[in-house]
Chains A and B, each alone.
Chain A
Amino acid sequence: MYAFVNGPLVWIAFAVLVFGSLWQIVSLYKMSRRTDKVFYDHYNPGAAAGSIWAWLMPFGSRSWREHPGLTLGTFAFHICLIIVPLFALGHAVTLEFNRGIGWPSLPDGVADKMTLVFLAAALFLLIRRFVVPQVRIVTEPKDIVVWCITVLPFLTGYLSAHKMLLDPDTMLLLHVFSGCLMLICIPFTKLAHVFLFFMTRAFIGSEFARRGTKTW
């Protein structure tokens, strides 16, 4: 079990992530060539890039500026979500040990704090789902499932690093397992917004630009 999760499963997860995402992107692209003439007729690279960039920046869009609380929560959540797994010392060491690839890493203390920020932001987003009526009315069970899938790797990572709750080996096993689960789910759930964000924003940027209108 341990050997499978820490070995082949990790490879499978990355393969599913990469090929699943590519498959989604390519099939949507192919479909768009047939069904979305409006996009290719009016594609505007400058507006597409501007639209993506503005929304990747905290407070870069009018919508972000008008909702400062959610903006802070969302950006704290996503920045930590990307930075911590990429540069956690444990991950860098594992990579170096197994593949001999040198990888930059964050000091443990920083990764630790960022994990806590991530968990706090995640909790904020979850509570918001239940407390804010206009968000609650559109929240479905799958939104909660996706939330759990995203949060579990961080929670288990933190607990195993601090030797809490379960014995560290079991916790580590759960950590790797939940991490793999998240990677596998990205192409097939709402987590696909990782890459779909760029496609939908490029579209709306171009679509509104032909009308002289900004979407940020």
Chain B
Amino acid sequence: MSDQKPVNAEEIMAVIERNDTARLRAWLKTCTSCGLCSESCFFYLANENAPEFMPQYKARKTLGELIKNKGNVTRAQLEEMKEIAWARCTMCRRCSQYCPFGIEIAVMINVARQCMRTQEVCPDRLMTIDQSYEEFGNQMSIPDEEFVETCEWMAEEGQDRLKDLEIPIDKEDAEIMFVVNSREPKYYPQDIQEAAMVMHAAGENWTLPSHGWEATNLSMFSGNLRVAGMVTQSVYDAAQKLRAKKICITECGHAYRAAKYEGPYWTKQPGGKAPVEVTHAVQLFHDYMKDGRIKLKHKFKEAITYQHPCNLSRSGDLGPAGEALMDMLCENYIPMEPHAEWSHCCCGGGGFIPMGADYKKTRMVAGKVKAEQIQKTGAKFVLVPCHNCTDQINDLNKEYDLGIKVMSFKELICELMDLPPHMKPEGEEDE
């Protein structure tokens, strides 16, 4: 590690000045240190209410210190701050809901991350991912050709399950341009196949772009907003080039938030709105079900609960759609408490999953709150519409011996949907 490199206070101050907004000033002036944010935080709850985990303290020990010292801090101090800003906060924003003044501590932690990123103080894996975005346009270093080949292969293989299944690439004037998490082509290509089956069954006019297909935006979490903007722009550009009506994000949480809510600001879109409407698989599947475009053989019968990803149900607008979709698909849906916009983060977000093995222990400790929530529902199935939540809950399952199975909406719909006769593969009998 380049611990001999001096800290460049000017670079840190440049970030602070860029983020010196009236709302940040008002937040700093207003906070009365009432402590109401503490119990909103799952890190605090999972670490036996240790006061060092209370949100205001974390903001004070990171951004607060940087502002107070005008960026003149040592590398050792930055390393300490790194452990707070990345390993004690997922920027889930639940504390903002509990603060009487609505102070956004998550935003302050994010600014602190940006400051530290200028000094290359950041979990190593996240910095590597920034590089991968720059070189390949996605976090998994997949060349575009390989992605297209994977889609072709998945379409072909999927014809065993749905006759004439297609995965159209670069089709112009489609209703939906679907973008994926690069984990899907890398490790779970079935995910692309299942999403394609649902859209095909619903008779959707859709496509995938051969470039700009990466939906995740982990640079938002590394604090490198230049790269974050670049990734978002590539998705917008693809949609505009293909004249797609809507961009639909796969079952991933932060990708939706990045494309719909934060991306327009990184890429300086007028009015803070994405140039092409952004929607999400949860909304798309919800609408298919509601409009009767997908019919079910029967509903899912077992007791099942639903993980509300923070970036869909708190920082995104999909809490109600997720709940409604659960009700349409499942007979026995048991919500966790609290849920929807008040849901606790599972500790997979904020970059935690890609931060890798170094942070796994922290992740398992802080995930206790979610593990207990799941246990209390008594359900043995958990529907999770987010890749990072999926990884985290699978890990929690092992760590806390939950005995659960994690499912996605597309997986569940593919299992339950009643295909029209002309889509059924040869030789398949009606049930």
Does A149 lie at the interface of the complex (its beta carbon under 8 Å from any beta carbon of B)? Answer: no
Which residues from chain B contact A61 at a C-beta distance below 8 Å? 100
Q: Assuming the A-B contacts A31-B21, A201-B102, A203-B102, are A196 and B29 also in contact, with contact meaning beta carbons closer than 8 angstroms in the complex?
A: yes
Sort chain A's interface into a size bin.
35 or more
- A180-204 residues at the B interface, CB under 8 angstroms: 190, 192-193, 196-197, 199-201, 203-204
Contact partner of B317 among A66, A136, A204, A213, CB < 8 A? A213
Identify which of B35, B51, B98 gathers the most chain A CB atoms within 10 Å of its CB. Answer: B35
Smallest CB–CB gap between A142 and chain B, Å? 9
Q: Assuming the A-B contacts A138-B33, A138-B60, are A203 and B320 also in contact, with contact meaning beta carbons closer than 8 angstroms in the complex?
A: no
Show 7 residue pairs from A and B whose CB-CB distance is below 8 angstroms, ordered by the A residue.
A193-B29, A200-B102, A205-B102, A207-B102, A211-B315, A212-B318, A215-B96
- B93-118 residues at the A interface, CB under 8 angstroms: 96-104
Q: How far is the CA of A31 from the CA of B27 in the complex (A)?
A: 14
Binds A, one of B37-45, B136-144, B374-382: B37-45
A125's nearest neighbour on chain B, judged by CB, is B34
Q: How far is the CA of A136 from the CA of B51 in the complex (A)?
A: 9
Q: Which residues of A contact B (CB under 8 A)?
A: 28-29, 31-32, 35-39, 41-42, 51, 55, 61-63, 66-67, 70, 74, 129, 132-140, 143, 190, 192-193, 196-197, 199-201, 203-205, 207-208, 210-216
B25's nearest neighbour on chain A, judged by CB, is A28
Which residues from chain A contact B425 at a C-beta distance below 8 Å? none
Q: How far is the CA of A72 from the CA of B52 in the complex (A)?
A: 26
- Let me know if B101 and A201 touch, CB within 8 A: yes
Identify which of A28, A136, A137, A210 gathers the most chain B CB atoms within 10 Å of its CB. Answer: A137
Which residues from chain B contact A134 at a C-beta distance below 8 Å? 35, 38, 44, 49, 51, 54, 57
Contact partner of B51 among A70, A74, A133, A140, CB < 8 A? A133
Q: Assuming the A-B contacts A63-B40, A214-B341, are A197 and B101 also in contact, with contact meaning beta carbons closer than 8 angstroms in the complex?
A: yes
Which residues from chain A contact B30 at a C-beta distance below 8 Å? 190, 192-193, 196-197, 200
- Let me know if A193 and B101 touch, CB within 8 A: yes
**Chain B interface residue count, Cβ-Cβ cutoff 8 angstroms:** 50
Which residues from chain B contact A62 at a C-beta distance below 8 Å? 97-98, 342
Q: Mask for B33-71, Cβ within 8 A of A = 1, else 0?
A: 111101110001000010110101100100000000000
B321's nearest neighbour on chain A, judged by CB, is A212
Identify which of B26, B27, B29, B36 gathers the most chain A CB atoms within 10 Å of its CB. Answer: B26
> Could you tell me the dominant secondary structure of chain A's interface residues?
helix
Does B272 lie at the interface of the complex (its beta carbon under 8 Å from any beta carbon of A)? Answer: yes
Contact partner of A137 among B39, B52, B100, B320, CB < 8 A? B52
Which residues from chain A contact B21 at a C-beta distance below 8 Å? 31-32, 35-36
Q: How far is the CA of A74 from the CA of B36 in the complex (A)?
A: 12
Which residues from chain B contact A196 at a C-beta distance below 8 Å? 26, 29-30, 101
Q: How far is the CA of A5 from the CA of B316 in the complex (A)?
A: 55
- Let me know if B22 and A138 touch, CB within 8 A: no
Contact partner of A70 among B29, B34, B52, B102, CB < 8 A? B34
- Let me know if B25 and A63 touch, CB within 8 A: no
Which residues from chain B contact A137 at a C-beta distance below 8 Å? 51-52, 54, 57
- Let me know if A215 and B97 touch, CB within 8 A: yes
Besides the known contacts A63-B99, A134-B44, A203-B26, 11 further A-B residue pairs in the complex with CB atoms under 8 A apart? A31-B22, A32-B22, A35-B21, A51-B102, A63-B40, A134-B38, A139-B33, A190-B32, A192-B29, A204-B96, A212-B316
Q: Which residues of B contact A (CB under 8 A)?
A: 20-23, 25-27, 29-36, 38-40, 44, 49, 51-52, 54, 56-57, 60, 96-104, 261, 265, 271-273, 313-320, 341-342
- Let me know if A211 and B57 touch, CB within 8 A: no
Q: How far is the CA of A122 from the CA of B19 in the complex (A)?
A: 36
Q: Assuming the A-B contacts A196-B29, A211-B314, A213-B341, are A138 and B272 also in contact, with contact meaning beta carbons closer than 8 angstroms in the complex?
A: no
- Let me know if B265 and A38 touch, CB within 8 A: yes
Contact partner of B102 among A29, A37, A140, A204, CB < 8 A? A204
Smallest CB–CB gap between A58 and chain B, Å? 12
Which residues from chain A contact B34 at a C-beta distance below 8 Å? 70, 74, 135
Q: How far is the CA of A181 from the CA of B342 in the complex (A)?
A: 41
Which residues from chain A contact B265 at a C-beta distance below 8 Å? 37-38
Smallest CB–CB gap between B278 and chain A, Å? 12
Smallest CB–CB gap between B41 and chain A, Å? 10
A29's nearest neighbour on chain B, judged by CB, is B22
Contact partner of A212 among B36, B319, B342, CB < 8 A? B319
Which residues from chain B contact A132 at a C-beta distance below 8 Å? 35
- Let me know if A200 and B101 touch, CB within 8 A: yes
Which residues from chain A contact B272 at a C-beta distance below 8 Å? 37-38, 41-42
Closest 3 pairs (CB-CB, A-B): A204-B102, A212-B317, A32-B22
